[in-house]
Amino acid sequence: MKDTNSLIEKKIISLMKVRSGIDRLRMGAEMFDTAKSLVMRSLNETSERKLRLKIFLRFYGTEFNPEQRGKIAFTLGHINDELIYEKVGKNI
């Protein structure tokens, strides 16, 4: 999705280029932490193990096929979890 005006996008890029690499890295890490925090709150999961799986599926689930998701989920401590094989969408 691209909903940013090209002039605004160029302005943002020029503003980012004047920042140091460490500043850009720090900003990216802070944005990821904020996004992860928002996702964690929206999932309303009490099990730490299930929360980790749901976070993985929310952020990266569409990047992997069910078999790959199963292998990754196994390393997160899940075996034959129904979430792994469901169609990953916005409801996770």
Tens-place pLDDT, residues 19-78: 999 999 999 999 999 999 999 999 888 888 888 888 888 888 889 888 888 888 888 877
pLDDT for the residue numbered 82:
63
Which DSSP symbol is given to 87? P
Q: Is it the case that residue 89 has pLDDT exceeding 60? A: no
- Its domain, for residue 18, covers 1-44
Which DSSP symbol is given to 77? T
pLDDT for the residue numbered 29:
97
Instruction: Examine the domain organization and report whether 35 and 51 are in the same domain.
Output: no
Instruction: Examine the domain organization and report whether 54 and 34 are in the same domain.
Output: no
Instruction: Examine the domain organization and report whether 35 and 60 are in the same domain.
Output: no
pLDDT for the residue numbered 25:
96
pLDDT for the residue numbered 85:
58
Instruction: Examine the domain organization and report whether 4 and 32 are in the same domain.
Output: yes
pLDDT for the residue numbered 83:
61
pLDDT for the residue numbered 57:
87
Sign of the torsion angle spanned by Cα atoms 49, 64, 26, 8: negative
* Number of domains forming the structure of the chain: 2
Instruction: Examine the domain organization and report whether 49 and 83 are in the same domain.
Output: yes
Instruction: Examine the domain organization and report whether 28 and 49 are in the same domain.
Output: no
Instruction: Examine the domain organization and report whether 35 and 64 are in the same domain.
Output: no
Q: What are phi and psi of 80, to 5 degrees?
A: 55, 40
Instruction: Examine the domain organization and report whether 50 and 28 are in the same domain.
Output: no
Answer whether 51's CB lies under 8 Å from 40's CB: yes
Instruction: Examine the domain organization and report whether 36 and 78 are in the same domain.
Output: no
